[in-house]
Amino acid sequence: MNLKLPETSHPRIVILGGGFAGMNVALHLKDTDFQVVLLDKHNYHTFQPLLYQVATGGLEPTSIAYPLRKLLKKIPNAFFRIAEVQNIDTNQKVITTSIGELQYDILVIAMGTTTNFFNLPSDSTSKMKSLKSIPEALDLRSFLLENFELALLEDNENKKQALINIAIVGGGPTGVELAGAIAEMKNHMLPRDYKELDLSKMQVHLYEATGALLGPMTENSRIRALEYLQNLNVEVHLNTAVQSYENGILHLGDGHQLPTETVIWTAGVKGSPLKGIDQQYILPNGRIKVNEINQVEGLQDVYAIGDISCMITEEHPRGHAMVAPVAIQQGQLLAKNILKLSRQEKVNTFKYFDKGSMATVGRNKAVVDFPGKSVKMGGLLAWMAWMVVHLMSLVGFRNKLIVLTGWMYNYLNYDRVLRLIIRPSREPLND
Ligand SMILES: Cc1cc2nc3c(=O)[nH]c(=O)nc-3n(C[C@H](O)[C@H](O)[C@H](O)COP(=O)(O)OP(=O)(O)OC[C@H]3O[C@@H](n4cnc5c(N)ncnc54)[C@H](O)[C@@H]3O)c2cc1C
């Protein structure tokens, strides 16, 4: 098969992935003398920071997605294809995809990350849920609700308890935000929907292998987030690694066990797999080593940006944080640098402009560290700041409007209106 792209005498830039990084390269190459080809396995951009709200019925999936074709519609020199990227041949400058092969002049790898279960055996991980995409968020939403439906019908008290116990693994922003959202469902929505169930018995556990939640944030914010979660009755277990998950029992490093049908893994990511790049340029966590202009070390016309790349500098000895602002800024700079290189001008190296970090724990509760980390904020003000930043960062006016009205409705009604089970029937439960 062939990708049926228009013939061109202009150099072709192929961008792999329409996330924050790839999207920004394409947008900043508008009206240039390049043919820009964007490939993604989905036909939409995903706003991952709000996936957890889709998974807990707070937002519609379409409000955090944006069609990539619509994004490119005002860029006449850009073309989009849905394709799963499989291999790169850097000698021949050809990439292999699920819909055929494509020649490039300049290649931009922006394929983000995938869930990292580290060394856990697949017997354990196959029954866990992860949260990296809209299909996964929808699957999790249905799965959570189905468990409550099943609990209603269950006579065996132990099985009933396992159906309403929730374990979240990983105390980073995703784990913290998800734990807070599920605790709020337990406090408000679930008792109204499942009045025959004794939801005072429902347990929400958050397991973190290190000694603190929200690792990169300030101690002040970490302690605040812990207190917020504890006030919501989330049982937070620090210094507690997961060892295995078998037959509906989660085994922890400290010897404890939790019977649960729901284990949500948010404990790590690794670079999306990509064949063809020499292993010497790939770090153990799957990220591709790049220099200070995001060029893959050793490969002249190949760049990697965003989460999949790792730029090791004195200031960032383990690479930059895997967050949206890094991906956006790298995408924007790379587009400018590609243009400069084409004009044989001097390029600029990447300097991250840190706008601070934030996480929300629930209604009126969030933590914010401002750049430099000397100023921190918590509570209602931080929560409002979190909402404004996320609203402004969403792609598309319609999405912003829908998210805002969804949030207002949920806030006023203590509700999660999208508690819908929509998916094919699931596998039977563990015995
Ligand atoms: C649940 C969650 C919550 C987060 N919360 C925050 C937050 O609050 N703040 C923040 O700053 N960051 C947050 N992040 C991180 C942030 O989303 C990432 O840093 C950012 O998305 C990285 O952008 P990217 O373009 O590098 O990768 P991505 O946005 O992941 O985009 C990668 C793209 O590549 C495509 N792709 C992957 N493999 C292939 C393939 N083989 N073939 C074709 N296409 C492929 C994918 O479909 C995707 O569109 C969160 C992430 C997650 C998962």
Q: Are residues 74 and 206 in the same domain?
A: no
| Any domain includes 153 | yes
Q: Give the number of domains in the chain.
A: 2
Query: CA-CA distance, 334 to 323, in Å (whole number)?
Result: 17
**20 Cβ below 6 A of ligand 1:** yes
Query: CA-CA distance, 71 to 330, in Å (whole number)?
Result: 19
**84 Cβ below 6 A of ligand 1:** yes
**pLDDT block averages, 10 residues each, the chain of length 431:** 88 98 97 97 98 96 97 96 97 96 97 96 95 97 96 96 98 97 96 96 98 94 97 98 96 96 97 93 95 93 98 94 97 98 97 94 95 86 96 96 95 90 74 53
Which among 323, 332, 333, 367 is the best mutation to test ligand 1's pocket, defined by most ligand atoms within 8 Å of the CB?
323
Can you tell me which atom of ligand 1 is nearest the CA of 307? 26
Q: Are residues 274 and 195 in the same domain?
A: no
State which residues form the domain around 279.
Answer: 12-115+270-342
The two tokens of residue 247 are 């037959």
Task: Name every residue whose Cβ is closer than 8 Å to that of residue 387 and which is 6 or more positions away in sequence.
Answer: 360, 407
Residue 11 gets the label, from left (phi > 0), alpha (psi -120 to 50) or beta, of beta
**85 Cβ below 6 A of ligand 1:** yes
The two tokens of residue 286 are 């799957």
Which are the catalytic amino acids?
A: 177
Query: CA-CA distance, 279 to 298, in Å (whole number)?
Result: 12
Neighbouring CB atoms inside 10 A of 186's CB total: 20
The CA 22 to ligand 1 mean position distance, Å, reads 10
* Residue pLDDT, tens place only, 393-420: 999 999 999 999 999 999 999 888 899 9
* Residue pLDDT, tens place only, 333-363: 999 999 999 999 999 999 999 999 999 999 9
Nearest Cα to Cα of residue 149 among 431, 421, 337 = 421
Query: CA-CA distance, 195 to 152, in Å (whole number)?
Result: 10
**Residue 249 belongs to a domain with what CATH number?**
3.50.50.100
Which among 14, 39, 47, 48 is the best mutation to test ligand 1's pocket, defined by most ligand atoms within 8 Å of the CB?
48
The two tokens of residue 292 are 């200070």
| Any domain includes 429 | no
Q: What is the pTM of this model?
A: 0.96
Neighbouring CB atoms inside 10 A of 187's CB total: 16
